[in-house]
Amino acid sequence: MNRVALEKKVLGENDRQAAELRERFREHGVLCLNLISAPGSGKTSLLERTLRAWPRGERVAVLTGDIQTENDATRLKRFGFPVKQITTGGTCHLDARMIDRHLADWRLEEIDLLFIENVGNLVCPSSYDLGEAGKIVLLSVTEGEDKPLKYPSIFFKSELLVITKIDLLPYVPFDISKAEENARKVHPDMEMVRVSNTAGNGLEDWLGWLEQRRRTEAARAKSPA
């Protein structure tokens, strides 16, 4: 079998498993969001901020993916919500089978919001559907404002762009308006927020977006198909 045919087969099988996961999330009323960025853009930091701000009784959970180490799960478990690490052992993205396997001993009826932190990579995670309701792409101000043009697929497929590390703007030659304009060239309707995970600026916009997204999903679930 040649490489293209094999890749098609793998992606076809992944799509089938992702469709099953999406159906299970829908049945149990789980809003699943898939966070994607280059390594180190601030996915775990944003989730740390989110869990810290999250009301204790609310039912949120995280699956966090990395090639090696349990570091991100250790960071996120401190907030008392269910968190599991997925180590891929070399694979540059998560796939639907890994999600399915790591959900096996969680009761989906006890989760309202599930974050998946993908492996740090702007390319491979874009091709693998995980059954999520939406993808969120992060871009930090140290990465250059041309990234939406260089890696269009993930910016096209994500509903929200989170620009991170805005506290560093005084120190780096990053034109934030240009970055947003580039993202809009690839994805005209894309929503955007700007945050600093360290200083805390913009976090209310991110949390507000999440709240609104949960409301939209709940309304969609209630309306007849």
Q: Where are the beta strands (DSSP E) in the chain?
A: 31-36, 60-66, 83-87, 113-117, 134-140, 160-164, 191-194
Q: Which does 29 bind (CB under 5 to 8 A by kind): Mg ion, ligand GTP, none?
A: none
Question: How crowded is residue 115: how many other Cβ atoms within 10 Å of its Cβ?
Answer: 25
User: Which is nearest to 17 in space by CA: 157, 102, 185, 129?
Assistant: 129
CB of 208 to ligand GTP, least distance (A): 18
- With binding defined as CB under 6 A, does residue 72 bind ligand GTP? yes
Interhelix angle 43-53/203-222, rounded to 10 degrees, is: 80
Structure tokens at 91: 């694979």
Residue in 43, 157, 194, 213 binding ligand GTP, rule: CB under 6 A: 43
- Residues 170-199 vs ligand GTP: string with x where CB under 6 A? --------------------------xxx-
Binding track over 37-56 against Mg ion, x by CB under 5 A: ------xx------------
Which of ligand GTP, Mg ion, none lies near 200, with the C-beta cut-off 5 to 8 A by kind?
none
Closest separation in Å from C-beta 201 to ligand GTP: 9
- Cβ atoms of 149 and 122 closer than 8 Å: no
Residue 188 DSSP code:
T
Closest CA to 107 of 220, 22, 30: 30
Q: How far is the CB of 205 from ligand GTP (least distance, A)?
A: 13
126 binds, among ligand GTP, Mg ion, none (CB under 5 to 8 A by kind): none
- DSSP label of 168: G
CB of 58 to ligand GTP, least distance (A): 22
Residue 42 lies near ligand GTP (rule: CB under 6 A):
yes
Residue span 122-161 as binding mask against ligand GTP, x where in contact by CB under 6 A, dash where not? ----------------------------------------
In the numeric block, which tokens belong to residue 19?
A: 């469709």
Strand-strand pairing, 134-140 and 113-117: unpaired
Give the interface with ligand GTP as residue ranges (CB under 6 A).
37, 39-45, 66, 72, 120, 164-165, 167-168, 196-198
